[in-house]
Amino acid sequence: MSTTMVIVLGIVVWIMLAIALALLLGRMIRLRDRHAPPAADAPSESPNGNSGAGSHTQHDLHRHDSN
């Protein structure tokens, strides 16, 4: 086998490994997100019957966290 063929074959193998790893990691992340518990700041039912979905914006939550 010539040196050029070895180099080309090595590059092709590295590209295939990179694609396989990207697909595997993408699948693992997708499965992890599917089984993740609900977020702590998700809207919940308040005692007065309102769902709290519009009570705070994302900006307000970050502003209160910084204090």
For the stretch 1-29, pLDDT in tens is 799 999 999 999 999 999 999 999 998 88
How far is 10 from 24, CA to CA, in rounded Å? Answer: 21
Tokens 């209160």, located at residue: 64
For the stretch 31-50, pLDDT in tens is 888 776 766 665 665 556 55
pLDDT of residue 41: 65
pLDDT of residue 44: 60
Residue 55 predicted with pLDDT over 70: no
* Beta strands in 15-59, from DSSP E residues, in sequence order: none
**Residue type, position 60, single letter:** D
Contact 49, 55 (CB under 8 A): no
pLDDT of residue 13: 98
